[in-house]
Structure formats: structure tokens, C-alpha cells
Amino acid sequence: MLLRCSLKQVLLLSKCPLLWRAGLARSQLRNTLLFRMASTHPVAAVCQMTSTPDKEANFTACKRLIEQAKDGGASMVFLPEGFDYIGSNREETLQLSESLQGDIISRYTQLAKRLNVWLSLGGFHERGHDWKNDRRIYNSHVIINGHGEVVSVYRKGHLFDVELTGKGVSLRESAFTVPGPCLVSPVQTPVGKVGLGICYDLRFPELSLALQRQGAEILTYPSAFTVATGAAHWEVLLRARAIETQCFVVAAAQVGAHHAKRSSYGHALAVDPWGVVIGDCGGTDGGMAMVEIDMQRLQDTRRDMPVHLHRREREYYNGLD
């Protein structure tokens, strides 16, 4: 859709205090407002931020992103893994964790209700089912609807236990995290039917295909990819998941230095069902990409190349077992 807007109109719109406080450059602000005026499909906001151990500062940053996204016309906002905080050591990570009934999720449910916007909170440090005895947590992806209700919780099933000595990557998520027991069904949202993953889950195509079989139209992988693995694999994996499932893929991301021991790659991405990158937040600063979710694009892709019809029965693929 071609939008024409006079310079005077743009300058008047650019005085919007909410967006200006959120720290947008004038060109970004203009693009956001023009996007809102031009959009004919549901809009999703895929966000990028730099979490630290300071939970209050993180909430303030997320709140600004969500308000900015809502003002730009988004009906669903996707935040990254560790949106609540990223601890500097195991003990701090555990100490700062909360239950789903705690203060952090309560504040986000109130915010979602006030703004009437859906939230994907991708990677909440949730105290585990036996917290008092084992002090272990889940890495939980929480979906909140526009009424402020928690409608789905997926607990990360694949834990990042990786030691890449030549690249300076050493993380053992299982030292303090309990793996989730199962996948959860895709959630019907204003932007489409969303299938939930988290970060390292991206490397397991079985998960994305299972969600697609259950009707997912959008796959989401909120992440905090390391710089080394992000530079090597982030975009190619996200595009592969989109192409093989013929789904939109939305992946919010952490970026930059969280503390002295950890940094993240950034490049929060949105990819269409053909594998085309339609939003990229870059690798340096926090911010967001506003993307239209055009379901006709998905339907056309699946019609023109019907891989779901060409896929053989499961026994065929298990034949070598």
C-alpha cells in the first residue's frame, strides 16, 4: 500500500511524547507512525533489549517498548528470553526468580489489560515445582491476552549446555533449570496462531514441525543467543524454520553486554513463510521491528508449494530406526 503524507503531518505526528520518551530517532518515529497509518493487516512488534540484573530497570525498558508498540498499532508484542533479568551468576539468577503469581507477571498482566495488547514474555525465570527443596527454576514462555490473563505457559524443553572452548562460550543451563515436560498447543492470538519455543529450541526442527502440525501459523523463539553462535547460526536457523514449516517466524532477542561475563548477539528478526526477512533490529541497540502478518502470504506459500501434502507418513521417516 502506497501512503502519501505531507511533511507538516509528519512533523505534527512526530511530537507524540510517548514515542519520543521511548528514545526513537526522528526518522524511526516517522517510520513507525507511517507504518501504523499504512497497515492493513494485523501488526506484531518484535522487540530487542539489553537486560541486566536490575529487574526494575528492565521492566521500565520493556514497558516503554510495549507502549511504543501499542501506539504504533501492534496488537501483539514479543519480548525476548530473560526480559525480566539476566543474572551475573547462578546464585543471583536463582535469588531473583519468582513464581507466576509474583510481582513481575502481575505487573505485565496489568499492563496488557490497560493497553489491551497481547504479550509474549519469552523466557521468564519461574521458580520450579519443588523450589523449596531443590532451588531450581523453569525457563518459561508466558502468553498474556489483552484482558490481562495468562493464557499459556511453555517451559523450555531443550536446555543450553554448551562448551565452545575455541569461541569463549561456556553455559550450562541445566545447572539451575528444570527442563519442561512437554510442548503446548499453539495459541490463537490477534496476529495468528502462535506456536511457542525458546532460544535453543530453535535448533530442533522436530519441535517446529510438531507445532505446525497442530495448526501454528507463527513460530516464536524469544532468545538470548551468544555473540559467537548468533553470528554463525541465528539468521540461517530462523529462516530454515520458516521455510520448512511455511510459517511466519518471530524471534525477539537480547543484545549487547548484560554484565561483565555475558553479551548477546541481537538481530531480533521476523521472517515470512517464504523465508524472507521482513524485520531486523540490528546488532547494537534496543528497539523493535513492526511487521505485518499477512495470512494471505502464508496461504499462497502453502498452496503453491504444498509440502504438507507431500510429506510421507511418519513410518517412512522412522524406517532407518
pTM score, two decimals? 0.87
Give the DSSP H or E segment for 295.
Answer: helix 295-304
Report pLDDT for 172.
78
Does a structural domain hold residue 1?
A: no
Q: Is 96 helix (H, G, I), strand (E, B) or coil?
A: coil
In the chain the first and final C-alpha atoms are separated, in Å, by 51
Residue 321: predicted pLDDT: 80
Q: How many domains does the chain have?
A: 1
CA angle 20, 124, 46 (to 5 degrees): 40
8 falls within a domain: no
**Residue 29: per-residue pLDDT:** 56
Tens-place pLDDT, residues 206-256: 999 999 999 999 999 999 999 999 999 999 999 999 999 999 999 999 999
> What phi and psi, each to the nearest 5 degrees, are found at residue 71?
-65, -30
* CA proximity to 65, closest of 80, 54, 52, 55: 80
CATH at 95: 3.60.110.10
Say whether 81 is catalytic: yes
Residue 88 belongs to what domain range? 20-304
Annotated catalytic residue, options 81, 126, 217, 292: 81
Q: How far apart are CA 254 and CA 263, in angstroms?
A: 8
Can you tell me whether residue 232 is helix, strand or coil? helix
Give the tens place of pLDDT for each residue, 82-120.
999 999 999 999 999 999 999 999 999 999 999 999 999
Is 25 inside any structural domain? Answer: yes
318: in domain: no
* Residue 167 known to be catalytic: no
Which segments in the chain show pLDDT lower than 50? 1-24
- State the catalytic residue, choosing from 47, 62, 70, 156: 156
Report yes or no on 253 lying in a domain.
yes
Answer yes or no: 156 catalytic: yes
- The reported pLDDT for the residue numbered 30 is 55
In this structure, is residue 237 part of a structural domain?
yes
d(C-alpha 84, C-alpha 103), whole Å: 11
Residue 86 forms part of a structural domain: yes
Candidate list 47, 62, 199, 281, residue with the active-site label: 199
Task: Provide the grid cell at 248.
Answer: 511466519
In a domain, 310, yes or no: no
